[in-house]
Amino acid sequence: MPRTFDNLSPGTRLLPALQGAPAAQMETRNPGMPLDLEAVRQGRVNRTAADRRAATLAATRVGHPDRLLHAVTMIDLTTLSDDDTEGRVRRLCDRALRPLRGELLVALGAEGMAVTAAAVCVYHRFVPTALAALGGRLPVATVSAGFPAGLSPLATRVAEIEASVKAGADEIDLVIVRGLALEGRWEALYDEITAFRGACEDRCMKVILGVGELGTLDNVRRAATVAMMAGADFVKTSTGKEKVKATLSAGLAMAAAIRNYHRETGHRVGLKAAGGIATAREALSWLALVQEELGEAWMHPGLFRIGASSLLADIEHQLERAP
């Protein structure tokens, strides 16, 4: 059975910002809904206002250590390199379980806190390696559906997802065909993601939009809306392979879509920021975006993730400098 989204052990002292995020809420699934083309087409974003707001968020300061510790618990620790090996994946899993040095946690007064990454994300080939290394203590995510371009035949992409589910992956991060969004072919996009939803079975489905390749923020918001209508549990910014990856402006467009979907359906969908997020300040900017645009209900790994490979090093550096 797939692991719960909640990686905090019962009885463990929680980070203050994580208190009040009930496990049941973390396990709530988005059932999707019939495609509403009118609602999709009404999704618009004021680019000037979004960029101005993004600039304010980007100026977020590295604040209290608890905020940085909170950010660590949101990370999908990721390796998606062409030269990945089983040894690298095992080392990644060990880092996910113990992302910060024990003496640093003691110095911060956080030795009793459940400070682990949220999940580990690897290529399909390494799912068994990650499962064995983690032993059920954290979820294993894998990329799928023709990652990173999504241009292989639909049957092939569906079969990839089914194979990852069979291999035991808890979470599937899959890509859309960006051309469908660029051409406004929302019915075709909805049908493909619906097929992916069926292939994912009961696994967490994160739909990667590839925001840097969607042309406009309107397209970002509309693609996110279609993905949620098709049953996405998370909408995700980037594969990490695009020239333009996770941007705060695109995150604001996605947050607007998530907020509207929740208002209309009552279902909460998660946001995953991924692609080029490598500094503590960038991570905290995304935390601020989610907290201010979506609210406290999203401030836990069941509804917010940061996909990253090198972010931990800078967070650890900042924590070492904390007073």
Q: How open is the CA angle 140-179-194, to the nearest 5 degrees?
A: 50
Confidence at residue 112, expressed as pLDDT on a 0 to 100 scale: 81
Q: In whole angstroms, what is the distance from residue 206 CA to residue 236 CA?
A: 6
Q: Could you please report the per-residue DSSP string of 225-258?
A: HHHHHTT-SEEE---S-SSS---HHHHHHHHHHH
65 preceded by cis ω (within 30°)? Answer: no
pLDDT tens digits, one per residue of 294-303: 999 999 999 9
Q: In whole angstroms, what is the distance from residue 2 CA to residue 100 CA?
A: 26
Confidence at residue 323, expressed as pLDDT on a 0 to 100 scale: 66
Q: In whole angstroms, what is the distance from residue 200 CA to residue 203 CA?
A: 5
Amino acid present at 251: G
Q: In whole angstroms, what is the distance from residue 297 CA to residue 262 CA?
A: 12
Confidence at residue 255, expressed as pLDDT on a 0 to 100 scale: 98
Angle between helices 248-265 and 280-293 (to 10 degrees): 30
Indicate the pairing of strand 234-236 with strand 204-208: parallel
Q: For residue 100, which of 285, 322, 298 has the smallest C-alpha distance?
A: 322
List the catalytic residues: 173, 236, 272
Confidence at residue 21, expressed as pLDDT on a 0 to 100 scale: 33
- Residues 6 or more apart whose CB falls under 8 angstroms from that of 322 comprise 65, 68, 108
Indicate the pairing of strand 140-144 with strand 171-175: parallel
Low pLDDT (below 50) residues in the chain: 1-27
Rounded to the nearest 5°, which phi and psi values hold at 34? -60, 145
pTM score = 0.91
Q: Which pair of tokens denotes residue 257?
A: 């879509």
pLDDT tens digits, one per residue of 215-247: 999 999 999 999 999 999 999 999 999 999 999
Q: In whole angstroms, what is the distance from residue 282 CA to residue 295 CA?
A: 19
Confidence at residue 11, expressed as pLDDT on a 0 to 100 scale: 27
The answer to whether 76 touches 306, Cβ cutoff 8 Å, is yes
